[in-house]
Amino acid sequence: MADVGRYRRIAVYSGGEIIGDGVYKLPFLRALRSAFPDAEIDWVCPGPTVYADRIAPLTAGLLDHVHANVAVGQHKSDLFLPLPIEGGYDLVIDTQQVVWRSLCARRLKARGGIFLSGAARFWLSGIRPQRGYVRPRHILTRFFDMIEMATGSRPALDRALPLPADLLDKARQQLPDGPAYIGFAPGAGEARKRWPLERFIEIARQQADRGRVPVFILGPVEAAELPAIRAAVPTALFPEQDTDLWGEGFNPMRSMAIGTRLAGALSNDSGVSHMLAAADTPLVVLYGHTSAEKFGPVTRRSIFLQASDYGAPVIETIPVEAVDEALEKLLA
């Protein structure tokens, strides 16, 4: 095992994150801190990142500094200009693949430091994988692999996300201790990623019959379906629509806080699945034409159902019986 104590200052170089990317990469931040508990860890981006604003509270205790919109890889000329932030990092982990940006990022390392990058098949990297290494399809698996290359051991996902206390309190008000709450996220960015709503309703009714409380996580697009869901599942709750408590507008940290109150959840391949995963909600996630191998959220407990395993890569192929069985297995 490598001496992780030698890495006192670590920089993670990223192209930047919009909200989806930022939520997706949260398991990587948690794994980084577990792997390097005593190091100073900085996030460095040539572009904007939600770690500096919209979900900045989630980086507390995971990242020490976030440097957004810095001239390290904004232009090729940055290779020849003075660094805009203090360099001298013992380890620089490059998470992007553009070679000229990687050359810019390599300037951040200290003399004797290590630059770790998968760009150009690790050609620029001071640490390289073993012969025969096949780059995983899943981006987070690639990142976890790089942590393992630096430390000699697989990183753990053993640190809870630091969700703001006020959001956790509001989620507890909505979903107080007592019942077993089961989440349902029937939305998705594409129509063909959506398992039929009537099947979500069927599973929710089965859960209600078993004494559990269905909780539907509905975004702005799915909110129009609320009356039909409520009519079919009278005991269902819709916490995201409580604007008196939460206020207006979308906040992914709200969904994560609600996720901490759920015993388990069923979701399509969507952003909500990654939000719930960030909160360590046990998940069943459904995949049609997309692949769990490439897009599955990284979480402690999950079951992925792939439509192609049931005959065709079309999400409607996944039968209700298989989903019910998977959800019961998750909740056991």
215 within domain boundaries: yes
Question: What amino acid is encoded at 40 in this protein?
Answer: E
- The verdict on 112 and 180 lying in the same domain is no
156 within domain boundaries: no
- The verdict on 92 and 186 lying in the same domain is no
Q: Is 114 exposed, middle or buried (0-12, 13-18, 19+ CB in 10 A)?
A: buried
- The verdict on 146 and 234 lying in the same domain is no
- The verdict on 315 and 194 lying in the same domain is yes
pLDDT number for residue 1: 60
pLDDT number for residue 206: 98
Alpha carbon distance 121, 97 (integer Å): 9
| Structure-token pair, residue 126 | 């001071």
- CATH code: domain of residue 255: 3.40.50.2000
The structural domain count of the chain equals: 2
- The verdict on 180 and 280 lying in the same domain is yes
Q: 3-class SS at 302? A: strand
Question: What amino acid is encoded at 155 in this protein?
Answer: P
- The verdict on 317 and 169 lying in the same domain is yes
285 within domain boundaries: yes
pLDDT in tens, 145-164: 999 999 999 998 898 899 99
pLDDT number for residue 153: 95
pLDDT in tens, 124-143: 999 999 999 999 999 999 99
Q: What is the DSSP letter of 107?
A: T
- The verdict on 147 and 225 lying in the same domain is no
- The verdict on 191 and 142 lying in the same domain is no
pLDDT number for residue 53: 96
pLDDT number for residue 86: 84
- Split at pLDDT 50, 70, 90, the class of 5 is confident
Boundaries of domain holding 40: 4-151
pLDDT in tens, 295-327: 899 998 999 999 999 999 999 999 999 999 999
pLDDT in tens, 26-79: 999 999 999 999 999 999 999 999 999 999 999 999 999 999 999 999 999 999
- The verdict on 127 and 173 lying in the same domain is no
Tell whether the model's pLDDT for residue 87 goes beyond 70: yes
